[in-house]
């Protein structure tokens, strides 16, 4: 388990806006490590885990975008049935609520990564310290 920074940006929900953000990040040497997009009628919330969050915050802010950062955790899970259930039970037993998560893997991978927003990172760290991946 590792603590990391997530950026949330609010974009107009129209063609090309996400592509423009991704292009700007790439042109500034910032790699996208995780991404989730939630849409609404007129806007989208894009959650990103990037290789250089501070640089991305300044770059996106300078472009006039609203950027909100928060601490989340990332954890690598083995690609086998029951791994997410095990994680959920460990957090539940510690009284930690999963607010949302995203991640993935391809079918041939032996492990994947999840980015998880929890209500208490310290409790999550204690609960997950027993899991060895």
Check whether 115 has a pLDDT greater than 70. Answer: yes
The answer to whether 2-70 and 72-128 have equal CATH topology is: yes
> Distance between CA atoms of 101 and 74, rounded to whole angstroms?
9
Burial (CB < 10 A; 0-12, 13-18, 19+), residue 132, is exposed
Which residues are CB-neighbours of 13 under 8 A, at least 6 positions away? 39, 40, 41, 42, 43, 44
SS3 100: strand
What's residue 117's pLDDT? 85
How far apart are the C-alpha atoms of 55 and 37, rounded to whole Å? Answer: 21
- 8 close to 68: Cβ distance less than 8 angstroms: yes
Phi/psi at 66 (5° precision): -80, 125
- Quote the pTM value: 0.85
CATH number of 2-70: 3.30.2130.10
* Residues 121, 115 contacting (CB under 8 angstroms): no
Tens digits of per-residue pLDDT, 8-66?
A: 999 998 899 999 999 999 999 999 999 999 988 889 999 999 999 999 999 999 999 99
Which of these, 99, 9, 6, 7, lies nearest to 45 by C-alpha position?
9
CATH class of 72-128: alpha beta
Please report, for the chain, the start and end positions of each structural domain, with discontinuous segments joined by +.
2-70, 72-128
Output phi, psi for 82, to 5 deg: 95, -10
The answer to whether the CB of 69 falls within 8 A of the CB of 52 is no
- What's the whole-number average pLDDT of the chain? 91
132 vs 103, more confident: 103
């Amino acid at each position: 388990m590792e603590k990391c920074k997530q950026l949330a940006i609010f974009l107009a929900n129209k063609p090309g806006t996400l592509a423009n953000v991704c292009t700007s990040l790439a042109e500034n040497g910032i790699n996208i490590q995780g991404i989730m997009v939630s849409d609404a009628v007129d806007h989208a919330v894009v959650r990103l885990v990037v290789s250089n969050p501070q640089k991305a915050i300044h770059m996106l802010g300078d472009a006039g975008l609203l950027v909100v950062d928060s601490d989340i955790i990332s954890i690598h899970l083995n690609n086998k049935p029951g791994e997410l259930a095990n994680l959920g039970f460990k957090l539940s037993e510690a009284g930690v609520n999963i607010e949302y998560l995203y991640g993935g893997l391809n079918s041939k991978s032996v492990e994947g990564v999840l980015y998880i927003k929890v209500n208490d990172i310290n409790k999550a760290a204690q609960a997950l310290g027993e899991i060895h991946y």
